[in-house]
Structure 1
Amino acid sequence: MADPSKCLPLTRASVQAAHELIKPHIHRTPVIHSRTLDEFASRQQTEAELQGTPWEGQGPGVRPTVRLWIKCENLQRIGAFKARGPFTPSGGWSRTRRGSGNHAQALALAARENGIPAHVVMPSVSNPTKVAATAGYGAVLYESGSAAPERQKMLDSVVGRTGATFVPPYDHPDIILGQGTAGLELQEQAAELIAEHAAKTPGGKARTGLDAIITPCGGGGLLSGTALSCEGTGISVFAGEPSHQGADDLVRAIRANLDGPISDVRTLTIADGLRTPVGLIPWSIIRGDRRLVRDAFAVSERDISRALRFVLERLKVVVEPSAVVPLAVVLFNEDFRKLVEEEGGEDGWDVGVIFTGNLSLDALPELLKIGDEKA
């Protein structure tokens, strides 16, 4: 990866340039639409459903009109949008790579296709499926403790012994621009589908594209890249986070009007891909001087589990818990839903969501059980 100061500027045009660069290496994943999901998202939550939530005792919920357009990055190479970033080396390919989780798989794949070795540090608590997949792409794996200082110590040791170049999973311009290509494709594909859908709706208002995109937020690479891809388009960008054990660091930072991200995040949310704090470069785009992300909303473990069950049973799409966090916001977070109702009115909003995959089937029964528990 290049020195960040020598990378392409963080603009929509640079996301477009990154897209041209990585096209030979990625899939143009499909965008799907479900009338059943639209109806479920546009329903009014009952007082009983809202018991145990921040909106308990406020009466029935709001009734927004929502149409959802889902970008299936679970069908991307390695099963996640993370495949996009590592194929965006504006400064050329270096000799070695390092990463973890979905990022680790993406780095291992990119390194293999470019004929260079990959050294990957993965915490001992990493998803076994992701560990096996990373090894399958030919990476040399190093196990570390789960805490940030332990990971950093192992990373420093590996870099010292191998001369490897550290490739962060989100806090680098190349990664951000690469992840932003998913948002770029979503805009184009959804616009075509929305026009077709509107044409088939008698008396319906002509619609030309998305009103909003909501992405999951861990380190902020996908979120900030998507925000860049939407700059100047009129599309509002939002973030979804888990609320469990302080995983909603972006939500808290925005509500407190902080000047920088919250750096200390320690959570065991089931959305394991979102356990990291927002990086400094993503923050500069999300908030900072750019403020390209309009707002962020959080959801409970129960709501994440409920959304996951809906996706698996009704949409027949296999995704991981992290992927459905934005969808859970649309389905269950009354603050976001009220915003859609007020600004969308009768016409409502067309909302884009980006999915990702890598679900561990062994953990599935416990993940779904959480959604059955009382709030």
Structure 2
Amino acid sequence: MTDVEMPSLEEFAEAARGLAPVIERTPIQASQHLSEVLGEEVILKLENLQRTGSFKVRGATHRLSRLTAEERSRGVVAASAGNHAQGVALAAQQLGIPATIYMPLGVPVPKLLATRGYGAEVVLEGATVEVGLRLAAEHAEREGAVLIHPFDHRDIIVGQGTLGLELLEQAPDVETIITGIGGGGLISGVAAAAKAKARAEGRDIRIIGVQAENAAAYPPSLEAGAPVSVTTQPTIADGILVARPGDLPFQLIHELVDEVVTVSDDDIARALLSLLERAKQVVEPAGAVGVAAILAGKVRAQGKTAVILSGGNIDPLLLQRVVSHGLAAAGRYMTIRIPLPDRPGQLVQVSELLAQTGANVIEVLHTRHGQGMQISEVVLQISVETRGEEHRTLVLEALRGGGFRPEIVPD
């Protein structure tokens, strides 16, 4: 691995000054709940309230602002499932640069409309961002446009790093920063900026990265000492669904990031629900992985800890599904399937048992149609609200004690 020239503290400060007229200085918020879970004081950096709904506008604006007049005249091209697209589109609009964005088919409608709303030409093609990146590179070659990579460029990394600088200005006593990792642009910039500032103050700061376990290319890459590609699986954290680390971010992360952990989709769903209920913050799955790591017991922070909520662009329909999934993962909601003999009084018995346990019935389906059923059977499918894992176990045991055979229906 070749040595990489670390961005300087002054480089980040200069970028921050340039971005000041465009971006929001997003607030921080204390979290008593997460502080109790972690055993250290925890604050949230609310980058979900940033313009365009994520940190991506920082890197995109810094990158585009450094283009020459000749490069600007050729226009820019990018590929993204949403956040980078919006960041590039807004930056291009602000600077008067023509922009073309390749987005995958099936991209959430709010992200598509927002990108077009900033004046970019959107091309819907391909099933993944990787396909879009290839098409964007071909477009750049064919049309002469400047390709704006979502994470593998020094200017992008420096722009994202202004978030770390801003955070330490707001909370100078932070000792640990936790944030998500996709390609690595955000955490590499934050780590470089935060560690440079901490060194200038004669102290150290820990940086912890979090990946979705279904798209975790960094643990094997760090072990190998070089970027490696992994086969990804679907994850609700589509904003960090990246199969291979960026070359430049990897070098910085290898040098500066202290630990990388992974979280499951269930962990992420629980985090989103917690942020909604406790912090009153709407956050997209990729932006909540740091909170997920704390709630899942994956991190052992040292001293005051900041968690970056990196984005809030979540499709309302996905939010609805995630909340349901999060309730189920937290033991607060379940759907159970109960085969019943086809005779009067069975539904009443089930209802009485549920009432005795204090479970709140949300929905009931009573049917005589289904696979594997006997002619003399019916199926009761019932959704109930519970108070956690212990209460859910109590409900199931009560039903079994009443002679029924409840099965939890997967979410």
TM-score interval for Structure 1 and Structure 2 normalised by the shorter chain: 0.7 to 0.9
Could you say which structure has the larger radius of gyration?
2
Provide TM-score, normalisation by structure 1.
0.78
Q: Is the 8 A contact 2:104 2:129 kept in 1?
A: no
Deviation at 1:273, TM superposition (A): 0.4
- Distance in 2 (alpha carbons) for counterparts of 1:147 and 1:71: 29
Aligned length: 312
Off by >6 Å, runs of 4+ in structure 1: none
Q: Is the 8 A contact 1:219 1:279 kept in 2?
A: yes
Provide TM-score, normalisation by structure 2.
0.72
- Distance in 2 (alpha carbons) for counterparts of 1:110 and 1:278: 25
Q: CA RMSD in A?
A: 2.0
Q: Is the 8 A contact 2:270 2:326 kept in 1?
A: yes
Q: Structure 1's 69 and 110: CA in aligned 2 closer, same or farther, altered over 3 A?
A: same
Match in the other structure for 2:76 = 97
Equivalent positions of 1:285-296 (< 5 A) are 285-287=252-254, 291-296=255-260
Q: Is the 8 A contact 1:298 1:333 kept in 2?
A: no
- Unaligned runs of 5+ residues in structure 1 are 1-7, 43-64, 192-208
Deviations 1:101-124 (A, max 9, x none): 201101110111111110001111
Deviation at 1:270, TM superposition (A): 0.4
Equivalent positions of 1:1-375 (< 5 A) are 10-39=7-36, 41-42=37-38, 65-89=39-63, 90-92=66-68, 94-95=71-72, 96-99=75-78, 100=80, 101-147=82-128, 150-191=131-172, 209-232=173-196, 233=198, 234-244=204-214, 247-254=215-222, 257-276=223-242, 277-287=244-254, 291-334=255-298, 336-337=299-300, 340=301, 344=302, 349-355=303-309, 356-373=311-328
- Unaligned runs of 5+ residues in structure 2 are 199-203, 331-411
1:70 match: secondary structure: strand
Task: Tell me: higher relative CO, structure 1 or 2? Use CA pairs within 8 A at least 6 residues apart.
Answer: 1
1:324 match: secondary structure: helix
Q: Is the 8 A contact 1:103 1:169 kept in 2?
A: yes
Letter in 1 for 2:316: L
> Which segment is superposed worse, 89-98 or 354-363?
89-98
Q: Is the 8 A contact 2:103 2:129 kept in 1?
A: no
Deviations 1:190-218 (A, max 9, x none): 12xxxxxxxxxxxxxxxxx0111011000
Q: Structure 1's 116 and 312: CA in aligned 2 closer, same or farther, altered over 3 A?
A: same
2:41 match: secondary structure: strand
Match in the other structure for 2:406 = none
Q: Is the 8 A contact 2:187 2:209 kept in 1?
A: yes
Deviation at 1:147, TM superposition (A): 4.1
- Distance in 2 (alpha carbons) for counterparts of 1:141 and 1:148: 14
Deviation at 1:152, TM superposition (A): 4.2
Q: Is the 8 A contact 2:48 2:283 kept in 1?
A: yes
- Choose between structure 1 and 2: higher strand proportion: 2
- Distance in 2 (alpha carbons) for counterparts of 1:132 and 1:249: 31
Match in the other structure for 1:46 = none
Q: Structure 1's 267 and 13: CA in aligned 2 closer, same or farther, altered over 3 A?
A: farther
Letter in 1 for 2:220: R
Q: Is the 8 A contact 1:37 1:68 kept in 2?
A: yes
Q: Is the 8 A contact 2:210 2:290 kept in 1?
A: yes
Match in the other structure for 2:405 = none
